[in-house]
Chain A
């Protein structure tokens, strides 16, 4: 089972003892630039509540994840009750309510990816990193998660790195290369997926500013798995 996003992690709490904190008070400040962004977000919606998703994203980008004190910080910034912000943060899977690895590998195993070897990729990654889905490697570098359809079914199997770039048409070789790149600290760049009709009519990628992959050049990962 995937870690259940609906069950909210509670800070370890022992009566009479202070609650475990992850971010110190001094760190809970927005920079000038971030304050401007928040002001811009607020202006986009008729109520303060509207800016809560963007506020949480900004906080997650800043602190890496959303421990209760960060959620509280967002709530105070937007002047809305903690419980409301907490409710939103726990509703969505992409907000991290627990600490994850530096690189979170969201492997799609849904629907088209399932029948195109998504589980092969997931298990291969688990073997390579010595952890199972939902876990983080010892040094805190990688977390593996099983993801639901990420909207790139034509280039299945695929994965997403830390709520960011997609890596399409995975093979075991591509996974090896990706892990090596990430270990060296290089995030994959954005890649277009060419449209098959463009191959015929335009000779490939239609965007001159991005690299592209062609969906159907990759052989199936495993002939046997379905």
Chain B
């Protein structure tokens, strides 16, 4: 609407971020050790809530709701609200929490740092979440490739058990909860919430049709809540410092500290902790600027499934859900990939399409076949064998994939292609052959080869 003020102001919404004090990964040596963690106020939040009654379960859920915490796993849903969807306790029915550490979205590598550097924060968050929803078992799902990190986390969990923070009668109260560490075996789709549940149950990791939502029927058909690792790691911070403190960080509608995973053509890639609402340009500056003094051409702001932004679009944008939506992308997992002027957007998009084709679970035809066609068409364009008409075909294919499948993987595959073509059309066209379709006259009396099949199966003559 014309009279809505724009969020793309080009000004930071992260406040005084240059003096920001890290809280998820504070600068403390050996924080992964339980003694060090305890020395720095670790498990105080748990003690205050479970033992000293700072909050009852409902109070804790309300506090998390008030903090404005939104899921860090990609969808950005309000965490407190999600918790409140759990049905009332039924003693006949076990309830589960899943902590989603599958982290397979290309460009995302933040949860790994929590496993490695501050696992107890996550564990404390898990136990608090279990308390808030009266859950007795949490499955912590870590991707199989992170096997070394699984060992780090298992060690931390064992330490927490030994000290009575997890297990039977947490801190001597009558509240008990268990944490089971589970690891995958290499499948991106296990990050999708219902697929993760099937994987846990020992089935093939096919996503399920929703509804029913996990809160009604999740793991083993029981009420289940699923949260990302970073989301749960924020919970002890909220308890310790209060919802108000959390809500005061970053823009009003998307609050709190975030781990930004910065990769691509920058001098200092890595995970950075800052408030939400950071300007993309500031993040580039922090990451040491573009490698080799090059110009940045494009940014993927939140993992491979978020639409790429041209640099012009990215310059006024900040890293929060609302602003990025207006800018034409989304926050995703806050894994930014900067691409410099030499990047070939066609091969880049082709490689993303290959990823989704490889990772499609194969349940739904639009996804299983669609991702394959995306890859085939992009490959042929990339190899100089495509026609300008193929771009239209690709966009049509995206229309046929989005919103027509069991899970969002098909959408995630279509977006980078759709928006890649829309925003970098020149580059795509430059790689396409001149004729509109095979067999068309090239004007000089010659015709291109004929007889090749298009994805619709019609010969192109």
Contact = CB atoms under 8 A, between A and B. Distances in A.
Contacts of A178: none
B16 interface: no
Contacts, number: 204
B12 interface: no
B439 interface: no
A53 B184 contact: yes
Interface residues of A, number: 65
Interface stretch (A30-38, A109-117, A135-143): A109-117
A111 B352 contact: yes
Contacts of B201: 45, 47, 49-50
Contact of A163 (B145, B268, B347): B145
B351 interface: yes
Given A192-B116, A206-B28, A216 B288 contact: yes
B106 A110 contact: yes
Interface stretch (A8-16, A20-28, A87-95, A122-130): A87-95
Nearest to A205: B29
B187 interface: yes
A220 B292 contact: yes
Which bucket holds chain B's interface residue count?
A: 35 or more
B77 interface: no
A47 B202 CA distance: 9
Interface string B192-227: 000000011111110000000000000010000000
A145 B201 CA distance: 29
Interface in A29-73: 44-54, 56-57
A185 B263 CA distance: 32
Contacts of B22: 197, 201
B103 interface: yes
A211 B340 CA distance: 31
B117 A207 contact: yes
B343 A115 contact: yes
A87 B261 contact: no
A226 B342 CA distance: 7
B323 to A, nearest CB: 23
A206 B29 contact: yes
11 contacts: A45-B180, A57-B183, A80-B202, A94-B144, A151-B112, A153-B106, A153-B109, A163-B144, A165-B148, A202-B29, A208-B30
Interface of A: 2, 6, 44-54, 56-57, 80, 84, 87-88, 91-95, 109-112, 114-116, 148-156, 160, 163-166, 190, 192-198, 201-202, 206-209, 215-216, 220, 223-224, 226
Interface of B: 22, 25, 27-32, 94, 103-109, 111-113, 116-117, 143-148, 180, 182-188, 199-205, 220, 261-265, 267-273, 286-288, 291-292, 304, 335, 337, 339-340, 342-344, 347-348, 351-352, 355, 358-359, 362
